[in-house]
Amino acid sequence: MFSVRLLTGMAIFTIAAVGLLTHDAMGYENRPTWVLSPGSINCDLVGDVIKGDISGGETVSYDFDLTPGKYSFAAWAGLDLTSLSLSIKNENGRSLGLDEGLDNQPLVNVSIAKADKVTAVLTAGSERISGQGGRYALAVGMGENCIRKNISPAEEILENWTDLILADGAEIIYWDILPNTGDSPITLNFTLEQGNYSVIAETLSRKDDIDMYVKLDARSIIAKNEEPDNNPICDFKLDHKFEVMVEIDLYQLKNPDSTEIVVVLAREP
């Protein structure tokens, strides 16, 4: 269905629980969407870390009165956004630095020769799920390269998959990063409209073996993937609105205490 089915070696989505977890796939409000990890800031800050909400394509700006010296401007966006760019300008509008990379953790180092008012401009990329919005944080460190990017392997896998799906013109219905559920399967419940769908799951190690089943009303299997790998993908078609259950069996995990599972559900345009 989607061109991403031809790709291998990337990680993706899923859900964890105590015992058998049945997850309401629309329960986003309790999911952490961004974190400033301890150790990512190794210097004194200019003021506090700024945090806020932002929509896809939106721009926000902040002014700082800085004395001469070297500074690190770093921003983090939640995984609800595909990317975040950061531009630094002086009071006259001259560009001091720009990071408009494809990730959601831009970092710009600047050197200030004399006291100046500096403006940091953040521009959000698109939203992984339309209308959901995202969150961001911005910090300014007193020193060069004193704030580092900090993205987990699971987050990198998620970004790779969702970026590919969106580039293919598909719509992301659901995504998440979940912990290992042990011997119990992970189950995800969705209410889906008519359409063509793909659901992808991936763990952190290629030596893992997980299977996936798509069921109607928790009974009839309409798609399954039992290949001996860590990245099952199931494609399925619905002729009308259905209650759908996705079950992921963690058959064999190389590092069961530390693995995470990425899960993404997408619909063709």
Domain annotation for the chain: domains and CATH numbers: 3-31+152-267 (2.60.120.380), 50-142 (2.60.120.380)
For residues 151 and 145, which has the higher predicted lDDT (pLDDT)?
145
Q: Give me the pLDDT at residue 195, please.
A: 95
For residues 32 and 136, which has the higher predicted lDDT (pLDDT)?
136
> 166 phi and psi, to 5 degrees?
-65, -40
Nearest to residue 244, comparing CAs of 215, 267, 222? 215
For residues 219 and 245, which has the higher predicted lDDT (pLDDT)?
245
For residues 220 and 103, which has the higher predicted lDDT (pLDDT)?
220
Q: Give me the pLDDT at residue 150, please.
A: 67
| pLDDT surpassing 60 at residue 220 | yes
| pLDDT surpassing 50 at residue 25 | no
Q: What percent of the chain has pLDDT over 70?
A: 84
Q: Give me the pLDDT at residue 41, please.
A: 75
Mean pLDDT of the chain: 81
| Mean pLDDT computed over 188-203 | 94
pTM, two decimals, is 0.65
| Mean pLDDT computed over 186-198 | 94
For residues 89 and 257, which has the higher predicted lDDT (pLDDT)?
89
Which residues, 6 or more positions from 263, have their beta carbon under 8 angstroms from its beta carbon?
12, 13, 14, 15, 174, 175, 176, 178, 186, 188, 199, 200, 201, 246, 248
| pLDDT surpassing 70 at residue 20 | no
For residues 189 and 49, which has the higher predicted lDDT (pLDDT)?
189
| pLDDT surpassing 90 at residue 182 | no
Is residue 103 within 8 A of residue 59, CB to CB? The reply is no
Q: Give me the pLDDT at residue 122, please.
A: 95
Q: Give me the pLDDT at residue 189, please.
A: 93
